[in-house]
Structure 1
């Protein structure tokens, strides 16, 4: 396995104000913990309808955050990952504004999807009911294009207009995005919402053969420019295994709910079952800018008849436990309770999902750090953040509970938190210890487990008990094994 250091996932503005501020944090108090950083969308407007996932200009850095020179400076000595938003652009983007004004007369008209683009002969009720969408309702918004009322394809929100990857216009656009990012110092591209790109009549319009072809084409472009590709898809766990064979990296979205299940029930077998089959070329996460994925461990309409990693009643119990652990705050941010809703996610910080239990929380992070793959740590999770109910009240967007805007004083205070200091100790070990470039072995027995990495004489081990959250991390140093971290230090 190639040794990949942990990466931080963050918005530049919500953690550090801007890109130079983010670099100062990574070179300063966070030095030695991260080998890379996934900077969430920094394109104009980074504070749009979907926190930057609705780019008006995907080839520029929002000047309020900095410049391409700042991105290149951030990439000096570390990996920078950025999003290629493959499925859609802002309804206010220059190209789509032109289509609104001129309709079919616009040279950009073929780039945007309408109902008729996919169903030129019209769509039946069955066709429409089959379309897979992570939100209630149909993925269309009535808009006037060149004086004609049209049903424009909007998978996520009316502010995000889907593009037609069957057209040269779409590829000219996407190539310009890949060029801008890679010339700006970005060496890992995260393909956002790529599963929705392969819309075809007679299918559910999700993860179709066309999606594979588009993904392959972007992977080829990225590789030609020296970049790697991470594909972001929520779905049945067998889909991740399939996708992993075709791309550089996939997310391990099954890990967070399985870790939560283990640490709230003491039952390790579902996690062990996943460890036996999961792809090694994974990016591991606990929390991200989106919610905690539940669909990733359950059954799926996309794979009928195939069981999930957790039985339905265990998933229901887990969701209820998260809501209880968070004092009910996650319930107010999840599903039908909040707009812009993702039906397959629970919106909650990971710290609140574990009832702010420092031992279990740090153990969750250590489990992530010891599992093979590239660990990515979300900024709110790193700082042991709690649900931001004020932000939720202001925006009505469920995922905002886990997207706090930190002031410099809040960051400074959080860095003194025992659970934050312990995570940083674990991250620095994962970043620097030679054992993690070697072989991984694991063993579980009841609620107890051992995860170990060995490279020659170098060794790092995590021994833990999921029932009480106790753990001990040991690692070799100068030929002798020493204790690096223990739950006893967290009270």
Structure 2
């Protein structure tokens, strides 16, 4: 994976012409900005109950977007990341419909995880209390077979996303088929979606079990053998991220986004500095994604202390709600469907009160933190919350999943904050210093992040209370200085 900035985007929400249109945008309006692109689910259908994360056919590109050949063509000039939806398949998939029709006689019966697979005698309340739930409600959905028999299937997320038994031959064959398609059609990086939930065991949290760790490791080895890297997508306590990082190619630094917000809200960088001192180096960094802003990754969990204490987490969440004028509150928790317990649904730009300078500070911190930076398409254009889409769908995360027209792209590119962000991206991509050694120092409102590679160095200096920030690039005897407020001029 190239150590340069990558884009995260839906195909259909950034253009109306499918994968070919996305290829054109990457090679024209976005030329020289991104070394790679994470294309969010492009499988059939892209407009299911979870915006493509509930594929009916994981092996088919939605015809409205194009074909596998179109993806292969896009990959000629861009490193492509794709999602392997490890944990579940759609309840409308041919495989699950066959299970409903034939029951235990279906060749796919073992492919889907049932309560009886983990709890042969049924689940007790004590066992249920131990299970880690990313969303409210039961981890099972009762489905009625054609015979009239009712069966409890595992549905970790929604009743339309039926969990796969990845230990069964049928489950393994299903995933291997998609892996091979990826390898044949230009995918270089695989995001292992919800991999931490893949293997459940009685008496455990059913999240990041020892067996799940082993599964992720084995899946990564398979992908590597096919010429692809893997990234584990896991929202959890920060120590879990450190443990997972030692077992996979890369992880996401999901603690970074809330810690940056906390630093900018309080003018205190000490929690951020503590984290950057120990954070995994083999990571991808994000501020915003197709999901909400993760909170759990920085907070305490049970008796495990967090990078922030519970009161600081509460203040962080409330400040996002205040900065967004209450819009995020309407999209988070029980206020909208398809909710996550550990995320606040809001654009990162609006979480910062649409403050252009603070937004550039946040991006500068991200780009100087260890890892390969990714920028979400909504964040690239500093989009505000899409309240119209939220209200029309009542899906909380749609507040940050806008449809952007060609005209709006041109309009947003004229904004000083977007121009400033594009310049930051080019700085991050240009200098070899970012392939060197990282160091961090900070106290109160002062932050200093630096990279040194041979005779070249890159340094970010921020004084948050004074709203001052600059980047210093040193090559031998030459020094280039970028004043962050001036990037908005």
Give the TM-score of the pair, scaled to structure 1. 0.97
- Contact 1:422–1:485 at 8 Å: present in 2 too? no
Where does residue 391 of structure 1 map in the other structure?
A: 389
Checking the alignment, whether the CA contact within 8 Å between 1:425 and 1:485 is kept in structure 2 is no
- The SS at the match of 1:296 is helix
Superposed CA deviations along residues 159-215 of structure 1, whole A, max 9, x for unmatched, are: 111111221100011100111111110010000011111111111211111101211
Measure the CA separation in 2 of the matches of 1:186 and 1:169: 23
Alpha-carbon distance in structure 2 between the residues aligned to 1:198 and 1:4: 32
Preserved contact between residue 59 and residue 181 of structure 1 (Cα < 8 Å): no
Q: What are the within-5 Å matches in structure 2 for residues 129-140 of structure 1?
A: 129-140=129-140
Pairing 1:463–2:455 present: no
- Mapping 1:59-458, distance limit 5 Å: 59-147=59-147, 148-301=149-302, 305-458=303-456
> Per the alignment, in what secondary structure is the counterpart of residue 16 of structure 1?
coil
Partner of 1:187, secondary structure, is strand
Please give the secondary structure, in 2, of the residue aligned with 1:314.
helix
**Distance in 2 of aligned mates of 1:306 and 1:136:** 22
Alignment correspondent of 2:15:
16
**What's the C-alpha RMSD, in Å, of the aligned pairs?**
1.4
Partner of 1:60: helix, strand, or coil? Answer: strand
CA distance in 1, matches of 2:68, 2:482: 39
Contact 1:286 / 1:350 at 8 angstroms: preserved in 2? yes
Tell me, yes or no, if the aligned pair for 2:5 and 2:375 is still in contact at 8 Å: yes
C-alpha distance in 2, partners of 1:163/1:129?
Answer: 22
C-alpha distance in 2, partners of 1:311/1:103?
49
CA distance in 2, matches of 1:408, 1:489: 24
In 1, distance between residues paired with 2:157 and 2:443? 43
> What is the rounded CA distance, in whole Å, between the counterparts of 1:153 and 1:159 in structure 2?
11
Deviation sequence 1:378-427 (CA, Å, 0-9, x none) = 11011001111111111111111000011111111111111111111111
Cα distance in structure 2, aligned partners of 1:94 and 1:171: 17
| 8 Å CA contact 2:457, 2:475 repeated in 1 | no
Q: Write the distance in 2 (CA, Å) between the matches of 1:478 and 1:26.
A: 34
Q: How many residues align structurally?
A: 487
Equivalent residues of 1:360, 1:470 under 8 A apart:
no
Equivalence for 1:7: 6
For structure 2, which runs of at least 5 residues remain unmatched after alignment?
A: none
1:51 is displaced (CA, Å) by: 0.3
Using the TM superposition, name which of 427-436 and 264-273 deviates more.
Answer: 427-436
Of 453-462 and 57-66, deviating more is: 453-462
Report if the CA contact (8 A) 2:361-2:484 is conserved.
no
Query: Contact 2:277/2:440 (CA < 8 Å) preserved in 1?
Result: no
Structure 1 unaligned segments of length 5 or more: list them.
none
